[in-house]
Structure 1
Amino acid sequence: MGQKKKEKIKLDQMMKIMFKLSKKVTVNLLNALFDENYDYKKVKIEYGNGEFLLNNLKRIQADMFITVQSEKRSVNYHIEFQTQNDKAMAIRMFRYGFEKALELACNQEGEEIILDFPKQLVIYLEENQNIKDVIVLQIRKPDGDIERYEFPTMKYWEYTQEDLINKKMYALLPFQVFNMRKWIESISNSNRTHQEKAQLINIEFKKLIKVIESVGKSSTELYEKEEINARDFERILLVLKNMSDYIYNKYGEYRQVEKEVEAMLTSLYNPAIAKENRKIGEEIGKEIGKEIGKREKALEVAKEALKEGADVDFIAKITKLDKETVLKIKEELQN
């Protein structure tokens, strides 16, 4: 696997982590990206399958599918993450959308099948003036008419840290450090001497540390205002650290700078989390009590169902008890 492929996989993984934060943060992000107005308290979200097996047994993998279910409707969203411009992106977006629509159509009945394409978006991280506001795919039908498909894009580099906070796109904050990658890479690929490159890259690294510190402090403030929870906060700092490591490791061994960033993020994380840990401890105690009550109820249901002659596998499924537990209850009833 090539270096660029490995880098894309790592960045994709970090993006996926940020799209799986708390429901509140995720719904607010979808609202901003797709111009929606969901109330996170009144909807459910589910993450859909993104891997599709084609007729030639080749597998294709989309980045992210999310379904939002409200009282009135259920809407599917598809998001792709890109670092660089890709001429084949329009074809891939159509293909992913088609495969998802086909998957959903399997549950339909009747003679006429409706293919419901998801709402789609491509997020481009790296600045490129060739990227347009929409990606266009045109399909010429047998009668000569042309069907035009447009896939909107988000040009991430156009959003400042303040923009992301104002629009409640908190999950995208860690990628502010990525905005500097292009400039550092241009220095690294230039014809300058090694010494000149090292000096210039270190200057950029100092700027990068300020960005990291700023994003870290903003995340702390969001946590203290309860805009994000402890798990969100932890993951934001984790991705921020990984993004920093990615840039440092790619453009030189600057271990001292890396340690400085790690110490900074640790200092931000520890004081804030200490308070949350006390709250979590109290909540865990309550949850344990609830879970004990649920289990006792499940055991009671299983016992009564066995008395009525219900199947062990069926009982395990409806009670969420493991099969061994149900078999043990059955054995006790028979003795």
Structure 2
Amino acid sequence: MSQKYDITIKNIFSDMADDIMSYFLGLQYTKIDELNIEFARVERRDSDMIFKCTTDKGNVAVHIEFQSENDGKMPYRMLRYSLEIMEKHNLIPYQVVVYIGKDNVKMANSLSYDFGEQNTLNYRYRIINVGDIKFTDVLKTDYYDLYSLLPLMDQNRRKEEGEKYLERCVEAIKNIPLDINKKKDIAFKAEILSGIVYKREVIEKAFMEVIRMFRIEESETYKMIIEKGEKEKSIKIAKKLLKEGMDIDRIAEITELSKEEIKKLMN
């Protein structure tokens, strides 16, 4: 990835760290501190993510790199990063490459040699191919930040369904039970990441509807309609509770109607 794209990727994934470590890595951990460091001796670039975490096996440095293309030099890069982490922070690195590319993973995840008992190397790290993650599996969770990655998931289904798959992803984002600003953020990231596997015109077509929906939801008229519907629902509940003889103060707490509004319903 170019340095410019590295920066974009880092910004996109910065607030996904907890969901990635919990869902992808399956780690039971407590995050202590962010350890993002520049590997000046190596690539003259910043790491994507490094966190000092405490686990059931003690403190570790969780190091996550995002890769959108196959890189034959990846094992060498990761080993150098590992050594930098150990030297600077005196922590065992738990390293993972999260592959978000269009093609199948073709990178090695290890380096080893054996030149006698006194001269050996056996180094290994994890590679997680986002394309292997099932669309339906993620939708069963509440890891909503990961919805930004849906367009890159389920590689076989994505290839079979084409742009229809991207439309499914957009629909899933529309239905997330979060406030509009958070959904807009997730949709924006999903649109950017879609560019790795889809053409521009397909992306614009798929995201056109969700953008329109967000604009509608932000409009004052839409808000008034929603508020009116909620008010009518509260009034209906209040009338039912009054018939059951519930105290006005308690009804006000449940429905969020004022006592004056509830008293008017008694007439």
Query: Shorter-chain TM-score: which interval?
Result: 0.5 to 0.7
1:93 matched to 2:84? The reply is no
The residue identity in structure 2 corresponding to 1:63 is D
The reply to whether residue 48 of structure 1 matches residue 35 of structure 2 is yes
Letter in 2 for 1:157: G
* Residue equivalent to 2:168: 211
CA distance, structure 2, for counterparts of residue 263 and residue 154 of structure 1:
31
Identify if the C-alpha distance between structure 1 residues 244 and 73 changes in structure 2 by more than 3 Å, giving closer, same or farther: same
Question: What does 1:270-281 align with in structure 2 at a 5 Å threshold?
Answer: 271=217
Structure 1 position 68, deviation (Å)? 2.7
Higher RCO structure, 1 or 2 (CA under 8 Å, sep 6+): 1
1:126 Cα deviation from its structure 2 partner: 2.6
How far the C-alpha of 1:261 sits from its partner, in A, is 1.6
Residue 94 of structure 1 and its aligned partner are, at CA, apart by 0.8
Match of 1:35 in 2: 26
Partner of 1:19: 13
**Per-residue Cα deviation, 1:227-246 (whole angstroms, up to 9, x for no partner):** xxx76534212202323467
Which amino acid letter does the alignment assign opposite residue 27 of structure 1?
D
Q: CA deviation at 1:209?
A: 4.3
CA–CA distance in structure 2, aligned partners of residues 213 and 172 of structure 1: 13
* Aligned residue-pair number: 220
Match of 1:236 in 2: 186
Q: Give the structure-2-normalised TM-score.
A: 0.63
Secondary structure in 2 aligned to 1:147?
strand
1:273 Cα deviation from its structure 2 partner: 11
Q: Distance in 2 between matches of 1:176 and 1:213?
A: 9
1:13-65 per-position Cα deviation (integer Å, ceiling 9, x unaligned): 454334332xxx64343122332224xxxx4443222312229xx62432211
Structure-1 separation of matches of 2:57 and 2:117: 37
| CA distance in structure 1 between the aligned counterparts of 2:155 and 2:17, rounded to whole angstroms | 26
Cα–Cα, structure 1 residues 239 and 126, in superposed 2: closer, same or farther, change >3 Å?
same
Contact 2:130–2:152 (CA under 8 A) maintained in structure 1 = no
Q: Check the 8 A contact 1:123/1:153 in 2, yes or no.
A: yes
Q: Percent identity of the aligned residues?
A: 20
3-state SS of 2:213 partner: helix
C-alpha contact (below 8 Å) 1:216/1:265 kept by paired residues: no
SS of 1:80 mapped into structure 2: strand
Mapped partners of 2:62, 2:215: distance in 1: 32
* Match of residue 137 from structure 1: 111
**CA 138–65 in structure 1, closer or farther in 2 if over 3 Å, else same:** same
Aligned position for 2:207:
261
| Corresponding position of 1:117 | 92
Q: What are the equivalent positions in structure 2 for 1:180-329 lying under 5 Å apart? A: 204-205=162-163, 207-218=164-175, 220-221=176-177, 223=178, 232-244=182-194, 251=199, 254=201, 258=204, 261-268=207-214, 271=217
Hey, what does 1:149 align to over in structure 2? 123
SS state at 2:87 partner: helix
Instruction: Could you tell me which runs of 5 or more consecutive residues in structure 2 were left unpaired when the two chains were aligned.
Output: 224-267
Letter in 1 for 2:25: F
* One-letter amino acid of the counterpart of residue 243, structure 1: L
Cα RMSD between the aligned structures? Answer: 4.1
Cα separation, 2, equivalents of 1:137 and 1:71? 27
Shift, 1:213, TM fit: 2.1
**Does the 8 Å CA contact 1:161/1:173 hold for their aligned counterparts?**
no
Q: CA deviation at 1:92?
A: 0.7
Instruction: Determine which structure has the larger helix proportion and give its number.
Output: 1
Rounded to whole Å, the distance in 1 between the matches of 2:195 and 2:40 is 35
The answer to whether the Cα contact below 8 Å between 1:177 and 1:212 also exists between their aligned partners in 2 is: yes
**Superposition TM-score, scaled by structure 1 size:** 0.52
| 1:241 and 1:262 in contact (8 A); partners too | no
Shift of residue 269, structure 1, vs aligned partner: 7.4
